[in-house]
Amino acid sequence: MFKKILKFIFVLIISGIFFWFFTNTDSEYLAGIREAVNSRDVPGLNGETIEEGEKSKSRISTLSQPKGVNFSWEHNNVLYSFSQELHQSTWDFYNSQPKVIQGLGKLPDNWEEKFYGLFLEEAEGDNTIAEIVAQLKNLGDQEGLDSDEMVELAVAFVQSIPYDDAKAERILKGLEDPPRYPYEVLYEQKGVCSGKSFLLVSLLRELGYGSVLLEYEEAKHMAVGIKCPEEYSTYDSGYCYVETTNPGHRIGIVPYLNLEDNSAMVKGEMEYFNENGSSDLKRLEGVKMFQEKNGKTYRGIVKTIQMTKEITVLEETIFDMRNNLIKKKEVMEEKKEELEKLEEEMEEYKAEEKYAKYNSLVPEYNDLANSLSEDVEEYNAAVDSCNQKIKDYNRLVKDF
């Protein structure tokens, strides 16, 4: 009996220790770590430790294994190109830098702010961003571009760097795939939303413009905000949205995402809605802002907003109309299934010569059939209305 009591006390003590450990562990931190692994293209848990959000300050003292990288892209019907000498040794340096969070200690509330800051710091001895901005300015001067047009040229340059579809697919599957430093994106000549956004913010800072990183945790997406007049800014934030993933996105226009591959949809002609239509687009919502840095204001947004106001209103209207049509179709499918079940039941009664039961279901069947007929008529009219809006949209977007 005494041994049983001792065993019981021992179990209580052990249980108390485990209870204390788990209740005193920082649950928000653990949640943050899970988010870091499972959302957007940010850190995993394996690798070097980030201590207090600071990156190694090691100087790149030697440059070896040079690699000439050629960049070319089209912007406003002009073909731009330049060559930049990069180095395997510098790529090796950045590739070895911290890209993950590890440990059981409590992280500060602003750990994401510090984490993203790692990717915006150039190592001592690396002047790549300044050299690229100098090349962009030289190209812009040749075309007589003003300061804001230089920003648009830099945006088009980053957008032209190929999107890393393989990495994006791994991220969408929830696999660990740490983000890349701007130098890695340049050297590898490919990147996803995070690495390309880090690169653009670095270029904007060098150009002297205010900027911020825009993170959409639920959508697993990242973009850039550039300082602009508040009355024209995205979310009334004082910053205008900039998409970096692929060419064709104008500053200040928040795209929809394609559900299949999470790519940002460039404004273009929409397909007409038909009976097989589906909700293949999603809005970017729930933005968080990090690494805000003050600087010059981009004012080219005024012209863009004037051009896109009608397009944006139509786009929102079409988006809502498409979703309402999908919901209407679901209701119609339910009524159709219910009608088919009633018909089967009535046929059974008829075959069994149970005419009283058959007749008792006739009013219900007729009411449901009439209701479905009205729904179909309303649905077809709504499809016509939606497709007319799409026709208007396509007419406007051709001149965008």
Each residue's pLDDT tens digit, 386-395:
999 998 888 8
pLDDT digits (tens, 9 = 90+) for 321-345: 999 999 999 999 999 999 999 999 9
Are the C-beta atoms of residues 197 and 211 closer than 8 Å to each other?
no
For residue 42, pLDDT over 70 is answered with no
What pLDDT, on the 0 to 100 scale, is given for residue 148?
A: 96
User: Tokens 């009013």 appear where?
Assistant: 363
Tokens of 234: 């995205």
What pLDDT, on the 0 to 100 scale, is given for residue 56?
A: 45
Q: Percent of the chain beyond pLDDT 90? A: 55
Closest CA to 214 of 112, 122, 302: 112
For residue 51, pLDDT over 60 is answered with no
pLDDT tier, 306 (very low <50, low <70, confident <90, very high otherwise):
confident
Average pLDDT score over residue span 12-32: 34
Are the C-beta atoms of residues 241 and 225 closer than 8 Å to each other?
yes
pLDDT tier, 275 (very low <50, low <70, confident <90, very high otherwise):
low
For residue 295, pLDDT over 60 is answered with yes
Mean pLDDT: which of 36-50, 62-76, 173-187 is highest? 62-76
Q: What is the DSSP string of 83-123?
A: EEEEEHHHHHHHHTS------SSPPPTTHHHHHHHHTTPPP
- Phi, psi dihedrals of residue 39, rounded to the nearest 5°: -125, 145
What pLDDT, on the 0 to 100 scale, is given for residue 17?
A: 35
Q: Where are the domains of the chain?
A: 2-35, 39-100+109-299, 322-397
pLDDT tier, 37 (very low <50, low <70, confident <90, very high otherwise):
very low
Closest CA to 227 of 147, 308, 158, 306: 147
Average pLDDT score over residue span 54-69: 73
What average pLDDT does the chain have?
A: 82
pLDDT tier, 399 (very low <50, low <70, confident <90, very high otherwise):
low
The larger pLDDT score, comparing residue 173 to residue 47, is at: 173
For residue 60, pLDDT over 90 is answered with no
What pLDDT, on the 0 to 100 scale, is given for residue 22?
A: 31
pLDDT tier, 205 (very low <50, low <70, confident <90, very high otherwise):
very high
